[in-house]
């Protein structure tokens, strides 16, 4: 009993220590995991360097770490520089007048052009001004506003008649009567506010009759914003950007610090894993309460799966980027190199994928360039070519190198991302492979147990028969 109690206390202390260890190392788990993946992926390269430097482990580890980080960081920096250059060229090619003309053509093509938009917007703004007023408005200052609304409405009706735009005569009469009623009321009184509210309702009804109904009126208002609305949107955007920049500036030091610390941990961990990796593994294996053969089997699976997932992710992203670049080139889009790089990068983002780039390109071709055929072909090509290749490359590579069924491989990636975020791309397939490996180990252990003498009755029966024989002989 004392030994059982001692064992229970030991297990409890071990559990508490494990929880505290996790809390201490939680910040460094991701960098160490990334370093482990880098070592698993590039370990054959390290072995080649190790033999070339005469077996000096510290030299080989330093050269391997430098080469691996160069292979990862240099392409990233190069891609970023080319993307910035291409983006600056694209910005210089922007012609606001050309974009405005294309938007006008788009509104006409979609039937969202709003005839006499400026007159409609002015009357709507003045009616709201007459009702809501402003902090500096007085009763006398609102009177001319009401008079101007009546004059502008008469001008709008004349323009509608000249253009041949049909409207409901009863709506026009009701709106004009309500506008005249405003002139007969004293601003600031209840009757005046009621008259303006009635005019607003009649104006809405008249506008819907002239512009094709409630739905088309709403769509045309959205597609034809007034200058005041554009200024308001721009001001809101500027204020939001300023607030975002302030928050980013406040977190920049902490973010940069964490990023530098993480990068430093990755570098140091990669170096020591290259130099002392085998000894570290042997030490951990000696502490783990699991058969050494089973531990080696799990390590082999980890090495195989990590390399398979990395290769699958990179190959899939490169394939989608290349296919996307070809589609952008034949579609006649500018900045093909930039779009290709963006497609490659977003292809590694789960759930969003390359569609985050080629879908806006299709919309640009259709709505801005008015090239609907090219947009349709690119959309078809993007759906069944660019994005579909991801469902072919990843399962194929994972199935070939990690011995997973293509469906299980795909689901493990998606499930890992959903549960753990982007790092789930790597962890998901590893968890599935480890589970399959552990089930195989368990099956072998159960098979061995079935072959042991005490698991069957045959030896007991044989022993009983032998004892009976000996008794009979003695008798």
Name the range with the highest mean pLDDT among 103-117, 350-364, 376-390.
Answer: 376-390
Alpha-carbon distances of 380 from 148, 206, 289, 319, 374, rounded to whole Å: 54, 43, 55, 17, 10
Highest mean pLDDT among 342-346, 351-355, 433-437: 342-346
Report the distance separating Cα 464 and Cα 345, nearest Å: 74
Q: Tell me the pLDDT of the chain averaged across its residues.
A: 74
Q: Pseudo-torsion of CA 162, 167, 170, 175, nearest 10°?
A: -80
pLDDT at 240: 65
113: burial class by Cβ within 10 Å (0-12, 13-18, 19+)? middle
Q: Return d(Cα 39, Cα 270) in angstroms, integer.
A: 6
Q: Rounded mean pLDDT of 70-93?
A: 70
At 293, list the tokens: 């053969």
The larger pLDDT score, comparing residue 47 to residue 432, is at: 47
pLDDT at 57 over 70: yes
pLDDT at residue 470, rounded to an integer: 47
DSSP state letters, 409-431:
HHHHHHHHHHHH-TTHHHHHHHH
pLDDT surpassing 50 at residue 358:
yes
pLDDT in tens, 429-475: 777 777 877 787 777 777 777 776 655 555 544 444 554 444 444 44
Task: Provide the terminal-to-terminal Cα distance of the chain, rounded to the nearest Å.
Answer: 47
The CB density around residue 221, as the number of other CB atoms within 10 Å, is 19
pLDDT of residue 467: 47
Q: What is the predicted pLDDT for the residue at 302?
A: 72
User: Which tokens go with 128?
Assistant: 């709201």
Q: Which residue has the higher pLDDT, 132 or 77?
A: 77
User: Which listed CATH number (1.10.3470, 1.10.20, 1.20.120, 2.60.40) goes with 114-223?
Assistant: 1.20.120
pLDDT value of position 96: 58
pLDDT at residue 393 greater than cutoff 60: yes
pLDDT band at residue 137 using 50, 70 and 90 as cut-offs: very low
Gap between the Cα atoms of 310 and 419, Å rounded: 19
Domain residue spans in the chain? 114-223, 288-445
* pLDDT-derived band at 299, boundaries 50, 70, 90: confident
Q: What is the pLDDT of residue 377?
A: 92
Statement: residue 380 has pLDDT above 50: yes
Using the Cα atoms of residue 34, residue 37, residue 42 and residue 46 in order, give the sign of their dihedral. positive
Confidence of residue 278 (pLDDT cuts 50, 70, 90): confident
> Which H or E run includes 314?
helix 292-331
In the numeric block, which tokens belong to residue 40?
């698993």
């Amino acid at each position: 009993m004392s030994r059982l109690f001692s064992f229970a206390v030991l297990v409890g202390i071990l559990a508490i220590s494990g929880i505290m260890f996790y809390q201490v190392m939680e910040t460094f788990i991701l960098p160490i995991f990334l370093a482990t993946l880098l070592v698993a992926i590039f370990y054959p390269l390290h072995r080649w360097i190790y033999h070339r430097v005469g077996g000096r482990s510290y030299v080989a580890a330093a050269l391997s770490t430098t080469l691996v980080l160069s292979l990862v960081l240099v392409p990233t920096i190069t891609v970023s520089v080319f993307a910035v250059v291409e983006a600056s060229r694209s910005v210089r090619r922007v012609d606001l007048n050309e974009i405005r003309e294309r938007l006008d053509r788009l509104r006409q093509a979609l039937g969202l052009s709003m005839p006499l938009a400026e007159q409609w917007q002015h009357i709507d703004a003045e009616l709201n001004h007459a009702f809501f007023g402003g902090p500096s408005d007085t009763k006398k200052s609102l009177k001319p506003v009401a008079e101007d609304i009546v004059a502008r409405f008469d001008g709008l009706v004349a323009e509608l008649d000249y253009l041949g735009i049909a409207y409901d005569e009863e709506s026009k009469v009701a709106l004009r009567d309500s506008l005249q009623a405003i002139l007969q009321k004293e601003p600031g009184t209840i009757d005046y506010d009621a008259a303006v509210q009635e005019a607003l309702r009649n104006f809405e009804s008249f506008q819907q009759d002239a512009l094709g109904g409630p739905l088309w009126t709403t769509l045309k208002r959205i597609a034809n914003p007034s200058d005041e609305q554009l200024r308001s949107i721009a001001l809101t955007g500027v204020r939001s950007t300023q607030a975002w920049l302030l928050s980013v500036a406040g977190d920049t030091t902490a973010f940069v610090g964490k990023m530098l610390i993480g990068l430093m941990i990755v570098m140091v961990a990669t170096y020591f894993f290259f130099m002392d990796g085998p000894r570290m593994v042997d030490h951990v294996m000696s502490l783990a309460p699991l058969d050494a053969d089973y531990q080696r089997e799990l390590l082999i699976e980890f090495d195989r799966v990590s390399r398979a997932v990395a290769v699958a992710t990179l190959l899939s992203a490169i394939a989608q980027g290349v296919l996307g670049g070809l589609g952008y080139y034949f579609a006649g889009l500018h900045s093909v190199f930039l779009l290709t790089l963006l497609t490659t990068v977003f292809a590694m983002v789960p759930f969003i994928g390359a569609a985050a780039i080629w879908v806006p390109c299709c919309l640009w071709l259709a709505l801005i360039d008015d090239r609907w055929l090219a947009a349709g072909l690119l959309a078809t090509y993007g759906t069944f070519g660019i994005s579909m290749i991801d469902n072919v490359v990843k399962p194929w590579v994972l199935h070939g190198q990690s011995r997973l069924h293509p469906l299980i491989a795909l689901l493990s990636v998606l499930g890992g991302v959903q549960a753990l975020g982007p790092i789930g791309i790597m962890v998901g397939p590893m968890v599935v492979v480890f589970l399959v490996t552990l089930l195989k180990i368990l099956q072998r252990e159960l098979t061995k147990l079935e072959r042991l003498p005490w698991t069957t009755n045959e030896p007991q029966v044989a022993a009983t028969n032998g004892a009976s024989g000996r008794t009979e002989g003695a008798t």
